[in-house]
C-alpha cells in the first residue's frame, strides 16, 4: 500500500457526545431529543438508550490515554448542547463547558489537534418543545450556543464543524421518523431545512467574530448514486436522489444556488426565501468534511419525488448492510473538490460496523483492517492527484450508541464491553497506529499488514 500523505496530514478518529458520554443530567445538564426519543417504544433496537453509553463522561481520561497510545494526530468530538445551555437559552452553564475545556487541554497536552463539532444531533429537549429547527428563532438559538462554546474554546480549538450531516438528521428525524425527534412531517422538515441553512451561516459568522485564527467547516455525508440499470427512468430517479441527498444543503451554502430538488422534495411546503435570506445562507467556509460510508443503488419506482426504489447493495457489505466500495471515497472527494472547490477537504468520518469475537484481550477484526486499508489507499491516491485532502478520521474511536440500532452495531477501533466498560484496542486500532507511525517516519509504503493478526 502506498502512503502518499504530507507531513501535516491529520490522522484522527471521531466520536459524538450522545453516542459515548452518558450522564444526561450531570452538573446541571438537561435531556436532549435523543433521550426522549429512546423512551419511545420500538424507536431504538432492544430499547437501548444513551443514559450510560460508553460512560465517557466519567472515563474520558482513560479514552484520551487510548488516543495517545494510538498515536492519533487529531480527535473529532462533539459538544452536547444540553450541557452548555440546558434549557436552550439563557446564560451558559459553566460546569458543562468545564468538561470540554479539560478535554481540550488534555488533548493539547498529548499533542492531539482537537476538531470540535457543535451539533451532532443532540438538540436540547426544551428547544424541541418550542418547535425545534422548525422554529424561526432556531438560527438565533444556534448562534447563541455557538458563542457560548467558542468564547470558552476558540483560543485552543483550531478546527470547528458547525453541523454534522444535516441531511441525515433532517431526513431521518423529520421525514421518515427513524431518528429523533421522530417526526414524519414534511412541513416541519421544510422549515427546518431553511432554518438549518441560516443557522449554519449565523454560526460561522459568530465563530469568525470569536477568533480569526480558527478554521470553520461542515461535515456532510456524501454518497455516490448508482442507477440500477441504464434505463432512462432509473437514471432520472438516481439523479433526483443524488441531488436530494448530496446537494440539498451544500448547493445553497457553497454555490449560492437553490437546487430544484428542494421544490420537488418539499412540494407545497417549500419555504419562501427573500433575496437577503438566500444570500445570508451562502457562506464561505475553510473546509468541507465528508462522511463517507457506502454508495446507494437506485431504481425508478414512481414519479413521486421520494418514492424511488433503493436497490439492495452489492456484496460485500458490513453489518449495517452497507455496500463496501472504497473507490466511492475517491469519487466523492473528487466530486466535492470540483463542485465546491477550491476548498480544503477532510474525511470527517469513514468506517464500518462488524462484530468480532473477543478473546484474551484481542479482537481480530480483519475485515475492518481491510476496510480501512482500502479506503485510506483511496485517500492516498486523492492526495497524489492534487486533491487538497488534509485529514482522515476513522469512525469511530469506540464502539458506541449507533442511534436507532442501539449498541448492536460496533464501529469502534476500540472494543467496549458495555457491562464492564472495559476497553480493548482492536487489531484495526493497532493497524491504524502502525500506519500513522509509518507516515511520520517518512515511509512511503506500508509494509502490507498481512493477516498475521490471526494469532
User: Which residues would be at the binding site for ligand PNW (CB under 6 A)?
Assistant: 16, 19, 164-165, 168, 221, 291, 349, 395, 402, 411
CA distance 147 to 91: 11
DSSP classification of residue 408: G
Nearest to 110 by CA among 57, 163, 63, 177: 63
Min. distance of Cβ 395 from ligand PNW in angstroms? 6
Cα within 13 Å of Cα(272), Cβ side = 1
Calpha distance 350→116 (Å, rounded): 17
Residues making up the binding site for substrate? 19, 120, 164, 293, 395, 402-403
Tell me the C-alpha to C-alpha distance, in Å, between residue 395 and each of 60, 172, 223, 290. 17, 20, 16, 12
Output 226 or 362, the one with its CB closest to ligand PNW: 226
Catalytic residue among 21, 165, 242, 377: 165
Based on CB atoms, which residue is closest to ligand PNW, 242 or 349? 349
The shares of helix, strand and coil residues in the chain, as percent rounded to the nearest 5, are: 45, 15, 40
> Of 240 and 381, which has the nearer Cβ to ligand PNW?
240
Taking CA atoms, 116 is separated from 53, 56, 86, 271, 398, in Å, by 20, 16, 19, 31, 17
Strand-strand pairing, 113-119 and 74-78: parallel
C-alpha 59/C-alpha 435 separation (Å) is 27
Q: Which residues contact 203 (CB under 8 A, 6 or more apart)?
A: 118, 142, 143, 146, 162
The yes-or-no answer on residue 165 being catalytic is: yes
- Provide φ and ψ at 216, rounded to 5°: -120, 135
Catalytic residue among 21, 125, 242, 349: 349
| Residue closer to ligand PNW, measured from CB, 345 or 446 | 345
Instruction: Give 3 or 402: the residue with its C-beta nearer to ligand PNW.
Output: 402
CA gap 86, 73 in Å, rounded: 32
Q: How far is the CB of 295 from ligand PNW (least distance, A)?
A: 11
Catalytic residues, by residue number, are 165, 349
Amino acid at each position: 500500500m502506498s502512503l502518499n500523505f504530507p507531513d501535516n496530514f491529520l490522522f484522527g478518529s471521531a466520536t459524538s457526545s450522545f453516542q459515548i458520554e452518558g450522564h444526561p443530567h450531570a452538573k446541571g445538564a438537561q435531556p436532549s431529543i435523543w433521550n426522549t426519543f429512546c423512551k419511545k417504544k420500538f424507536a431504538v433496537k432492544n430499547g437501548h438508550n444513551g443514559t450510560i453509553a460508553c460512560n465517557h463522561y466519567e472515563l474520558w481520561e482513560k479514552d484520551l490515554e487510548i488516543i495517545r497510545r494510538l498515536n492519533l494526530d487529531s480527535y473529532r468530538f462533539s459538544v452536547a448542547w444540553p450541557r452548555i445551555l440546558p434549557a436552550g437559552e439563557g446564560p451558559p452553564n459553566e460546569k458543562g463547558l468545564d468538561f470540554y475545556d479539560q478535554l481540550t487541554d488534555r488533548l493539547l497536552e498529548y499533542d492531539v489537534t482537537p476538531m470540535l463539532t457543535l451539533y451532532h444531533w443532540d438538540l436540547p429537549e426544551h428547544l424541541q418543545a418550542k418547535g425545534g429547527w422548525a422554529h424561526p428563532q432556531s438560527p438565533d438559538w444556534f448562534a447563541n450556543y455557538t458563542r457560548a462554546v467558542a468564547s470558552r474554546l476558540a483560543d485552543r480549538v483550531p478546527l470547528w464543524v458547525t453541523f454534522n450531516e444535516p441531511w441525515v438528521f433532517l431526513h431521518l428525524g423529520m421525514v421518515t421518523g427513524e431518528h429523533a425527534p421522530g417526526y414524519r412531517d414534511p412541513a416541519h422538515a421544510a422549515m427546518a431545512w431553511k432554518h438549518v441553512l441560516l443557522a449554519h451561516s449565523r454560526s460561522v459568522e459568530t465563530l469568525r467574530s470569536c477568533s480569526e485564527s480558527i478554521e470553520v467547516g461542515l461535515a456532510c455525508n456524501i454518497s455516490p448514486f448508482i442507477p440500477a440499470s441504464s434505463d432512462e427512468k432509473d437514471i432520472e430517479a438516481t439523479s433526483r436522489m443524488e441531488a436530494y441527498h448530496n446537494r440539498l444543503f451544500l448547493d445553497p451554502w457553497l454555490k449560492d444556488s437553490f437546487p430544484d430538488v428542494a421544490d420537488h422534495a418539499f412540494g407545497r411546503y417549500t419555504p419562501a426565501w427573500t433575496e437577503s435570506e438566500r444570500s445570508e445562507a451562502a457562506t464561505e467556509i475553510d473546509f468541507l468534511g465528508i462522511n463517507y460510508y457506502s454508495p446507494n443503488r437506485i431504481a425508478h419506482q414512481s414519479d413521486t419525488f421520494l418514492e424511488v426504489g433503493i436497490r439492495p447493495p452489492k456484496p460485500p457489505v458490513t453489518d449495517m448492510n452497507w455496500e463496501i466500495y472504497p473507490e466511492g471515497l475517491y469519487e466523492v472527494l473528487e466530486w466535492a473538490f470540483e463542485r465546491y472547490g477550491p476548498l480544503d477537504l477532510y474525511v470527517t468520518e469513514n468506517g464500518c460496523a462488524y462484530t468480532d469475537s473477543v478473546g484474551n484481550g484481542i479482537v481480530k477484526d480483519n475485515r475492518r483492517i481491510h476496510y480501512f486499508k482500502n479506503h485510506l489507499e483511496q485517500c492516498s491516491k486523492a492526495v497524489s492527484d492534487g486533491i487538497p485532502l488534509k485529514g482522515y478520521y476513522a469512525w469511530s474511536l469506540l464502539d458506541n450508541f449507533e442511534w436507532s440500532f442501539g449498541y448492536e452495531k460496533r464501529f469502534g477501533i476500540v472494543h467496549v464491553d458495555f457491562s464492564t466498560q472495559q476497553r480493548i484496542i482492536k487489531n484495526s486500532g493497532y493497524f491504524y497506529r502502525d500506519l500513522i507511525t509509518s507516515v511520520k517516519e517518512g515511509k512511503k509504503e506500508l509494509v502490507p499488514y498481512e493477516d498475521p493478526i490471526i494469532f
